Amino acid sequence: MSANTEALHLRVDNRDALPVVTPLYQCSAFTSDSPFFYSRKGNPNVSEFEQVVAKLENAKYGVAYATGMSAIYMTLELLAPGAKLVINKDIYGCSYKLFQRTASRLDLTLLILDLSTKSGIRQIPRDTDMIAFETPTNPFLKTIDITAVANHVKSTNPRAIVVVDNTWATPAFQHPLECGADISLHSATKYFSGHSDVMGGVALTNNDLLHNRLVDGRFYAGTILTPHSAWLLRRSMQTFNVRMKQHSMTTLEMADFVRALPHVKHVYYPSVDPTQLTGYGGIIFLDLQDDLVESYSEFARTLRWFDTGTGMACVTSMVAQPYSGSHASMTDEEKASSGIGKGLVRLCFGLEDPQDLKSDLLNAFRTIENLHH
């Protein structure tokens, strides 16, 4: 036997190691007597993360993906060609593009409605196969009554699939499945990671059939979360609750502060209620006053404690312009019809001292005001 052969097969006997956290199973394959088969199908770190999220949202199953977009993509895979898909008008730009592209590829009937209104819900066709929306919405933070939507579509087509993107509300404040949704989706890249250092997505469901179809689809498409990302996400979830509490308190305080500033025309904050969205944290939008609409770049550049870029929902604060960022993939006409102009600003509040964030914002607003006048 050569040293090379022995070295190749050498393993530490870790059966009695008993670590206090689950180690990283950075492996593609498992031996044939393992309950895990192949990391494209399942992996202990992925399972643990799925179970943690499912627990927090009171769901039976979680299915984790490489990104939030792949969670949405794999949900659309549940549709057959020619199906009828309804989406909400205000929605993350890449989701909007994905729905459009999938609709044209699969010859779906795609209907875009304003589901934040009762009349919008009444317009949902009786033969809808899937309805997908965020609540609160990106942008504008409008809330959609999940129970009303689910009751409406299920009354005529009990097999219709109601999909809620719960990324912004998070399980800390909203449980869509308890309101009648079939699938609750998350970009885990946001608050689950919370540190802008890992990407992931997860779909939650209580439905056995949907769960089997999602797991099967993920296996064949190869869209599963990597073990390392799952390990990082699981670690981040240990502080999820305390982070969300702090994000929520800071956001309330900052929204009040920004609302009172003369440079701001309007502040968007979602409507919180005792039954659906029971709290809120992290992200607000504001409209700059008309004479400051062209000053976004200077505003963002002046801020010291707000990072720029597409990231958000993290321990550090972020500033973004949906027009050139999250909704850049929409055409100018689509942006105009959704009311997404250059003066719309997104602020995500991190865990900094709110007093520092206030001084920073005030300084940036004063700077663009002086430049303008």
Binding stretches for ligand PLP (CB under 6 A): 67-69, 92, 95, 134, 138, 165, 167-168, 187, 189, 199, 201
How would you classify residue 309: left for phi > 0, otherwise alpha for psi between -120 and 50, otherwise beta? Answer: left
Write down the least CB distance from residue 342 to ligand PLP, Å. 20
Q: How far is the CB of 138 from ligand PLP (least distance, A)?
A: 5
Alpha helices in 162-295 (DSSP H): 170-173, 208-221, 227-237, 240-259
Contact 25, 46 (CB under 8 A): no
Nearer to ligand PLP, 62 or 201 (CB): 201
Residue 44 or 282 having the CB closest to ligand PLP: 282
CA distance 258 to 255: 5
* Cα–Cα dist 273/280, whole Å: 10
Nearest CB to ligand PLP, comparing residues 187 and 276: 187
Whose Cβ is closer to ligand PLP: residue 144's or residue 368's? 144
Rounded to the nearest whole angstrom, what is the least distance from the CB of residue 93 to ligand PLP in the complex? 9
Could you tell me the smallest distance in angstroms from the CB atom of residue 32 to ligand PLP? 34
Compute the radius of gyration of the chain from its Cα atoms: 22
Label residue 183 exposed, middle or buried (CB < 10 Å: 0-12, 13-18, 19+).
buried
End-to-end CA distance of the chain: 83
Q: Running DSSP on this structure, what letter comes out for residue 174?
A: -
Among residues 238 and 310, whose Cβ is nearest to ligand PLP?
A: 310
Q: How far is the CB of 94 from ligand PLP (least distance, A)?
A: 6
Which CB sits closer to ligand PLP, 52 or 368? 52
H or E segment to which residue 284 belongs: strand 283-288
- Evaluate the omega torsion of the peptide bond into residue 176 and state whether it is cis, within 30 degrees of 0: no
- Closest separation between CB of residue 281 and ligand PLP, Å? 15
Residue type present at position 321: Q
In sequence order, the β-bridge partners of residue 65 are: 201, 224
Query: Which residue's Cβ lies closest to ligand PLP?
Result: 68
Q: DSSP characters for 91-133?
A: --HHHHHHHHHHHHHHT-EEEEE-TTSHHHHHTS-TT-SEEEE
Taking the complex as a whole, the smallest distance from the CB of residue 292 to ligand PLP amounts, in Å, to: 25
Smallest separation (angstroms) from ligand PLP to the CB of 186: 8
CA dist., res. 240 & res. 96, Å (int): 28
Is 39 or 95 the residue whose CB approaches ligand PLP more closely? 95
Q: Tell me the one-letter amino acid at 356.
A: D
Q: Give 159-162's long-range contacts (Cβ < 8 A, gap of 24+).
A: 159/129, 160/128, 160/129, 160/130, 160/131, 161/75, 161/78, 161/129, 161/130, 161/131, 161/210, 162/130, 162/131
Taking the least distance from each CB to ligand PLP, the nearer of 263 and 327 is 327
| Of residues 113 and 283, the one with the C-beta less far from ligand PLP | 283
Nearer to ligand PLP, 204 or 368 (CB): 204
- What kind and span of H or E run contains 336? helix 332-338
> Minimum Å distance from CB 2 to ligand PLP?
47
Minimum distance between the CB of residue 305 and ligand PLP, rounded to whole angstroms?
A: 21
